[in-house]
């Protein structure tokens, strides 16, 4: 795999400008470019996606395991000619004292050479010890070249090149002259997203032309080809089972995508589609009503920048409010939470929003919440439960994400319910996050599926079950049991209509409906049946069960007679599989 990591000595050195320009320039050479961004970020990936023509994916070593990062990178890089990974902050910056989550560590993990972008303003001879120091700090990090940024003319460039070539072994790949047209537009939360910039296409084209003229692209590609091949440090996660794929076929999810809302991870959007849900875009600024959908996803963005326009579109606000009042499941993050509130106040301005949540929002001049968050579910979480053994939470029970907001909640009622307790971060009030109201969960935390959370599958299953319950889409004669207050549908015999609806809560509810008192031995059989199915994709034969449990429990307790005594309604192959969430079989396999 061919690739490199773009980093810098410190933030605001021009990494994003160089990365976006490189993507555009390489695409101009006919290269298939896959862009990545280190860490949690939405805005830089938007620009990188626009420049490369392909969705940019985030590589976050704090929210994801090393194997997950490697698997994500290798899966996508294999489909491209060259991969460009844009770092965040400086090369050696990060949360950990040992640099375990730094850009340098990411480059080492992925076997990537590093190209260092250096803001050269005011520098001449002093650039040499800076480069030498960065090389010496961690000799295992391969700094293969530098790109000089903000160069003050040809004389300045010549001095810099002479110093670097005399004192260091690092090659100068290019020198970018000071150019006000290369400046990225910024505001209180960083760069302005490309979808808000009317001339974004022209800006990217200009970056590409500048990089093409002032950076040695062929040398860049040569360096990228020196990337070291690697094998992920652990086997990748199993692909979704057949019971997961298409589970929500027919579910229509509305997604707010306009100038006010646009913060979505491509992993999440892909996860919706894998489960069979279709995504339907709507514009909160210009559309008059929601499309025909069963659920809503309103991501982050900058509603505060469009308060007047959002307020003016009263038709859309009314349409969303009516959908929520009718019980439509909704998931909203940060900006989406703000839009669903009664109003947003910023300075002396106040504008009405949807009014579905009984809270107001006020903007502040400094960040209220910023950084990684760790959450645990409360009993009010609408589509999972801390008691549910199949919850999407990691084994330590924590849901991990990130937040970055200048707004805070005001005038909330004392009995407001929350889906999360905050273990790290700020959330709504420093202790809670995830406002729960009707079928809405609205939080300041941004979650990403398979990176600290699998919220998409939880939300989709919840929304699909609500659709079935409200529209009667279950099969004739179907029945249901209640699990954590929500219906789980089965056929008339008690077999799940969708195997991925299984949970230990379902087994308990179904066993109760069949007057079966579950013991540890029952659970051992149920877990064996599920594990066997996961490994072989077919239900276990009765003789396989007898062989296994005779070894575990002895010949008498592992006998066919005893297993049928444990599961009196059809034996382990019928009642056992039913309670294990597996479908009925036609005889033995």
In this prediction, residue 501 carries a pLDDT of 78
Structural domains of the chain, with CATH: 3-224 (3.40.50.300), 252-462 (3.40.50.880), 474-579 (no CATH)
Query: Taking 60 as the threshold, does the pLDDT of residue 542 lie above it?
Result: yes
Q: Which residues of 242-278 are buried (b: 16+ CB within 10 A; e: fewer)?
A: ebbebbbeebbbbbbbbbbbbbbbbbbbebbebbbbe
Q: For the whole model, what pTM was predicted?
A: 0.78
Instruction: Please compute the mean of the pLDDT values over residues 243-263 and round it to a whole number.
Output: 82
In this prediction, residue 191 carries a pLDDT of 66
Sign of CA dihedral 115, 118, 124, 128: negative
Residue 428 pLDDT level (bands cut at 50, 70, 90): very high
Higher-pLDDT residue of 332, 389: 332
Residue 180 pLDDT level (bands cut at 50, 70, 90): confident
pLDDT tens digits for 302-359? 999 999 999 999 999 999 999 999 899 999 999 999 999 999 999 999 999 999 999 9
In this prediction, residue 105 carries a pLDDT of 95
State yes or no: is 284 an active-site residue: no
Distance CA 478, CA 493 (A): 8
Q: Which of 176, 185, 186 lies closest to 207 in space, CA to CA?
A: 176
In this prediction, residue 239 carries a pLDDT of 45
Distance CA 92, CA 98 (A): 10
Higher-pLDDT residue of 531, 387: 531
Residue 537 pLDDT level (bands cut at 50, 70, 90): confident
Residue 243 pLDDT level (bands cut at 50, 70, 90): very low
Phi/psi region, residue 49 (left: phi>0; alpha: psi -120 to 50; beta: rest), is alpha
Distance CA 131, CA 168 (A): 7
Instruction: Please compute the mean of the pLDDT values over residues 566-580 and round it to a whole number.
Output: 92
DSSP H helical ranges for 225-292: 266-274
In this prediction, residue 190 carries a pLDDT of 53
Query: Taking 70 as the threshold, does the pLDDT of residue 188 lie above it?
Result: no
Eight-class DSSP state of 446: B
In this prediction, residue 391 carries a pLDDT of 38
Query: Taking 80 as the threshold, does the pLDDT of residue 2 lie above it?
Result: yes
For 165-169, which contacts have Cβ atoms below 8 Å and span 24 or more sequence positions?
Answer: 166/128, 167/128, 167/132, 168/128, 168/131, 168/132, 168/135
The residue from 270, 284, 334, 552 that is catalytic is 334
Beta bridge partners of 171: 145
Query: Taking 70 as the threshold, does the pLDDT of residue 583 lie above it?
Result: yes
Instruction: Please compute the mean of the pLDDT values over residues 21-37 and round it to a whole number.
Output: 96
pLDDT tens digits for 266-315? 999 999 998 889 999 999 999 999 999 999 999 999 999 999 999 999 99
Sign of CA dihedral 449, 450, 451, 452: positive
Residue 234 pLDDT level (bands cut at 50, 70, 90): low
In this prediction, residue 198 carries a pLDDT of 67
In this prediction, residue 245 carries a pLDDT of 53
pLDDT tens digits for 462-490? 998 888 766 654 455 567 888 877 778 78
Instruction: Please compute the mean of the pLDDT values over residues 374-389 and round it to a whole number.
Output: 73
Question: Lowest mean pLDDT: which of 10-14, 170-174, 231-235, 419-423?
Answer: 231-235
């Amino acid at each position: 795999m061919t690739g490199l990591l773009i980093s810098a000595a410190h933030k605001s050195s021009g990494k994003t400008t160089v990365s976006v320009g490189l993507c555009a320039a390489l695409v101009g050479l006919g290269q298939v470019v896959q862009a990545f961004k280190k860490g949690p970020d939405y805005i830089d990936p938007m620009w990188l996606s626009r420049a490369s023509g392909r969705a940019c994916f985030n590589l976050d070593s704090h929210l994801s395991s090393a194997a997950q990062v490697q698997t994500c990178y290798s899966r996508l890089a294999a489909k491209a000619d060259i991969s460009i990974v844009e770092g965040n902050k400086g090369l050696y910056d990060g949360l950990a004292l040992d640099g375990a989550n730094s850009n340098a560590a990411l480059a080492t993990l992925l076997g990537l050479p590093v190209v260092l972008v250096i803001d050269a303003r005011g520098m001449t001879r002093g650039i040499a010890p800076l480069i030498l120091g960065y090389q010496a700090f961690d000799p295992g990090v391969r700094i293969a070249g530098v790109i000089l940024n903000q160069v003050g003319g040809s004389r300045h460039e010549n001095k810099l090149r002479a110093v670097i070539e005399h004192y260091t072994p690092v090659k100068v790949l290019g020198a970018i002259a000071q150019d006000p047209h290369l400046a990225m537009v910024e505001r209180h939360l960083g760069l302005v997203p490309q979808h808000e910039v009317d001339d974004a296409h022209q800006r990217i084209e200009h970056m590409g032309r500048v990089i093409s003229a002032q950076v040695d692209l062929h040398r860049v590609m040569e360096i990228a080809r020196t990337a070291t091949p690697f094998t992920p440090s652990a086997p990748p996660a199993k692909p979704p089972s057949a019971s997961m794929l298409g589970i929500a076929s027919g579910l229509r999810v509305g997604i707010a995508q306009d100038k006010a809302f646009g913060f979505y991870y491509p992993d999440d959007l892909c996860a919706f589609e894998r489960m069979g849900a279709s995504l339907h875009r709507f514009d909160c600024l210009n559309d008059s009503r929601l499309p025909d959908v069963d659920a809503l996803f309103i991501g982050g963005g900058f509603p505060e920048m469009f308060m007047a326009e959002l307020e003016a579109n009263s038709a859309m606000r009314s349409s969303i409010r009516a959908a929520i009042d009718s019980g439509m499941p909704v998931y909203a993050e940060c900006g989406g939470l703000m839009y669903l509130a009664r109003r947003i106040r910023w300075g002396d301005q106040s504008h009405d929003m949807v009014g579905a949540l009984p809270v107001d929002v006020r903007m502040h001049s400094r960040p209220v919440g910023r950084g990684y968050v760790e959450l645990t579910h409360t009993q009010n979480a609408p589509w999972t439960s801390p008691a549910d053994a199949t919850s999407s939470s990691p084994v330590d029970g924590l849901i991990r994400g990130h937040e970055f907001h200048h707004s805070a909640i005001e005038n909330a009622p004392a009995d407001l319910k929350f889906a999360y307790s905050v273990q790290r971060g700020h959330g709504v009030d420093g202790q809670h996050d995830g406002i729960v109201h009707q079928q809405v969960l609205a939080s300041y935390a941004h979650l990403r599926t398979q990176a600290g959370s699998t919220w998409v599958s939880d939300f989709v299953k919840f929304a699909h079950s609500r659709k079935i319950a409200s529209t009667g889409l279950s099969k004739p004669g179907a029945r249901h049991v209640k699990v954590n207050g929500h219906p789980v549908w089965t056929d008339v015999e008690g077999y799940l209509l969708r195997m991925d609806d299984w949970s230990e809560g379902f087994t308990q509810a179904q066993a109760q409906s069949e007057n079966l008192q579950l013991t540890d031995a029952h659970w051992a059989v149920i877990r064996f049946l599920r594990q066997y199915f996961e490994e072989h994709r077919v239900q276990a034969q009765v003789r396989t069960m007898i062989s296994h449990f005779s070894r575990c429990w002895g010949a008498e307790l592992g006998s066919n007679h005893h297993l049928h005594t444990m599961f009196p309604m059809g034996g382990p192959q019928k009642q056992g599989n039913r309670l294990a969430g597996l479908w009925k079989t036609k005889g033995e396999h």
